[in-house]
């Protein structure tokens, strides 16, 4: 299995992948996730007047900040120069959820999947933090890579 996993050497020891010989290309990743909550909590979140301020704005900023710090949080991630990070939060009233999407872009030798996923995870955690006084039964789920573009492994899109 060590031969199949890029972050393990031949002896099974963790390592940072050497991307020095890879070509510099445009890279983009889109990730998503959601925070499910009661209808009452969702209404409060959408009103934008929680005790801590706008839930959406705080979570979007937190997600962007997290993407920029991914290499500090995930031990074997490369420090990369992000050219763009966007985080968007939309309501799905039928599902009783706030849907979070994050898009990360760079021109470099390694992908930005982890940055997009980290942005989504931290945005979801921020939503939870801001609303937990109203609804401790909230559930964070479905954090997933939706799409990636660029790099030697080619493009990927969730079905």
Would you please indicate which residues are annotated as catalytic (active-site) residues? 129
Alpha-carbon span 7 to 77, nearest angstrom:
10
Tokens of 1: 């299995």
| Closest of 27, 44, 1 to residue 108, by C-alpha | 27
| Closest of 126, 84, 123, 70 to residue 100, by C-alpha | 123
Alpha-carbon span 82 to 90, nearest angstrom:
24
At 105, which helix (H) or strand (E)? strand 97-108
Residue whose structure tokens are 């899109």: 157
Tokens of 114: 């982890």
Alpha-carbon span 73 to 51, nearest angstrom:
29
Q: What is the DSSP letter of 27?
A: E
């Amino acid at each position: 299995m060590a031969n199949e996993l890029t972050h393990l050497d031949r002896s099974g020891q963790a390592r940072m992948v050497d991307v020095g010989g890879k070509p510099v290309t445009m890279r983009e990743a889109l990730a998503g996730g959601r925070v499910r909550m009661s209808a009452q909590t969702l209404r409060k979140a959408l009103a934008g007047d929680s005790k801590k301020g706008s839930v959406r704005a705080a979570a979007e900023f937190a997600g962007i900040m997290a993407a920029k710090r991914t290499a500090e949080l995930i031990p074997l991630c490369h420090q990369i120069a992000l050219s763009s990070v966007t985080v968007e939060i939309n309501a799905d009233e039928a599902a009783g959820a706030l849907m979070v999407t994050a898009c990360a872009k760079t021109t470099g030798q390694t992908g930005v999947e982890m940055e997009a996923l980290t942005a989504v995870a931290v945005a979801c955690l921020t939503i939870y933090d801001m609303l937990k006084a109203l609804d401790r039964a909230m559930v964070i789920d479905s954090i997933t890579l939706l799409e990636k573009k660029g790099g030697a492994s080619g493009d990927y899109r969730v079905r």
